[in-house]
Amino acid sequence: MWLKSIVAMLMGLLINASLMLNLTLVLPLAIDVLLLLGYVLGFLLWAGVMTWFYCCVSLRQALRPCTPVLLVSVALNVLLLLGERQ
């Protein structure tokens, strides 16, 4: 149970940070709006990932849909950050 809790917390934070970075790179909004949006959506996303991990029976079953989301989001972050520099 502790392993599932720790992995859920870390995976939720990684997915949260990655998706919120995608939003800040794509949306042309003021910084205060982006911070509020990141705070509210980030907490909801993190709580959703934590709930998903607790609802699944095994750690492997919980990681199966979360890992591709994280990998796609990180790849999009890399593409956006590299495209922004050029």
Q: What is the residue-level pLDDT of the chain in tens, covering all 86 positions? A: 788 889 999 999 999 999 999 988 898 889 899 889 888 998 999 999 999 999 999 999 999 999 999 999 999 999 999 987 76
CA distance 69 to 65: 7
Tokens 């050029």 belong to: 86
Nearest CA to 21 out of 72, 63, 85, 80 is that of 80
Taking a C-beta distance cutoff of 8 angstroms, is the pair 45, 19 a contact? yes
Nearest CA to 21 out of 76, 86, 85 is that of 76
Instruction: Please tell me the predicted confidence (pLDDT) of residue 86.
Output: 67
